Amino acid sequence: MIPARLRLGVNIDHVATIRNARGGDHPDPVRAAQIVAAVGGDGITAHLREDRRHIRDEDIARIQAATDLPLNFEMAAADEMVEFALRHKPHAACIVPERREERTTEGGLDAAGQHNRLAPIVSRLSDAGIRVSLFIAPEIRQLEAAMRLGAPVVEFHTGEYAHAEGEARAVELKRIADMAALAVVNGIEPHAGHGLTYDNVQPVAAIPQLAELNIGHYLIGEAIFTGLEHAVRRMRDLMDDAR
């Protein structure tokens, strides 16, 4: 099914990054979540990393209590995170690869190579009513692995697209578009995210099969200059204009 509206999930991790720089409680990611809700964002995304460098355990429950927006909980395929998700029951859990030394989530999850590790995690989360999404590269091998795992959602990593230029960017865009179409044919809802900005969002937003974009770092960065309300509204307008 082709979704009528492309949802915007706002990743508020980096509000917590700034808060943690001083060890206090300002700026509060909960306030960011409330602003996103007030300006028509469709969801909140937050990644509880193993090293707790930005979002902390208690932020998750506070975000859930403070807004009615669906929470997309990004998590590594680690036992600690599975237990955490089962306790907090977010609307969705997006399984991402995570290495302690990386600055951000640098590539997609190797769903193909890690089938046996991921299969029980996908089942346990799904059985608890959590919508599981796998953050994968837009590659057929990974999409087929997501199908075998029975994931209802995949999020395509748009980092390669965001970093590429010229012809190479067109190639990356086509990979995302082709995989989004194939996902839908196979009953999987495709999302996309990573590295999206005002300048590069529109070609991705124009891919008709995509149901959701998750955008964080750029929006929080722009919020410093223009405010979070304005940044979310502008991104929303660009997405709507692209469809």
**Would you call 194 a catalytic residue per the annotation?**
yes
Nearer to ligand PXP (CB atom), residue 64 or residue 105: 105
Q: Which of the residues 54, 157, 191, 194 is marked catalytic?
A: 194
Contact flags string 41-60 toward ligand PXP, x per CB under 6 A: ------x-------------
CB of 158 to ligand PXP, least distance (A): 8
CB of 167 to ligand PXP, least distance (A): 23
Token couple for 35: 């602003």
**Would you call 54 a catalytic residue per the annotation?**
no
Q: Which of the residues 14, 54, 74, 160 is marked catalytic?
A: 74
Give which of 38, 157, 51 is closest to 103, Cα–Cα: 51
Nearer to ligand PXP (CB atom), residue 135 or residue 161: 135
110: helix, strand or coil:
coil
Which single residue is written with the structure tokens 């091998």? 141
Per the DSSP assignment, residues forming a β-bridge with 156 are 136, 192
Q: Is 94 in the site for ligand PXP (CB under 6 A)?
A: yes
User: Where does 105-227 have alpha helices with state H?
Assistant: 115-127, 140-149, 159-163, 166-185, 201-205, 217-226
Burial class (CB within 10 angstroms; exposed 0-12, middle 13-18, buried 19+) of 129: exposed
Residue choice 41, 76, 90, 105 for contact with ligand PXP (CB under 6 A): 105
Q: Is 104 in the site for ligand PXP (CB under 6 A)?
A: yes
Tell me which residues are annotated as active site: 47, 74, 194
